[in-house]
Amino acid sequence: MAELPAAGIVCQACVDSGDTWVHLRECLVCGNTACCDNSPNRHATGHANSTGHALIQSAQPGEKWAWCYPDNAFFIPAEDGGWELFED
């Protein structure tokens, strides 16, 4: 996977439309930062659906997790620096 730019600090689509967001997510394919599903516009999910970019991670300070849309799979950091599937 290519190096991604640093996650943004805003959901630019929300800024452009004058809306607000709850939390931010970063696309692990292209680095796009967008708002979460608890936000009114759900731009991160919209980005995944329109581009096919299936993997996101939290862009919130202090949070480290990832999500795969097609598999409805939640990942946490692995000891080797990658990701491992979180199984409850």
Residue ranges of domains in the chain, CATH in brackets: 12-85 (3.30.40.10)
pLDDT above 70: percentage of residues in the chain: 98
Contacts of 57 (CB under 8 A, 6+ apart): 25, 26, 28, 64, 65, 66, 67
- Amino acid identity of 5? P
- What is the predicted pLDDT for the residue at 61? 92
For residue 1, the model assigns a pLDDT of 53
The answer to whether residue 60 scores a pLDDT higher than 90 is: yes
Cα separation, 80 vs 71, whole angstroms: 22
Q: What is the pLDDT of residues 14-24, one digit of tens each?
A: 999 999 999 99
Give the pLDDT confidence score for residue 3 in this predicted structure.
Answer: 73
pLDDT, average across residues 46-57:
98
Each residue's pLDDT tens digit, 24-35: 999 999 999 999
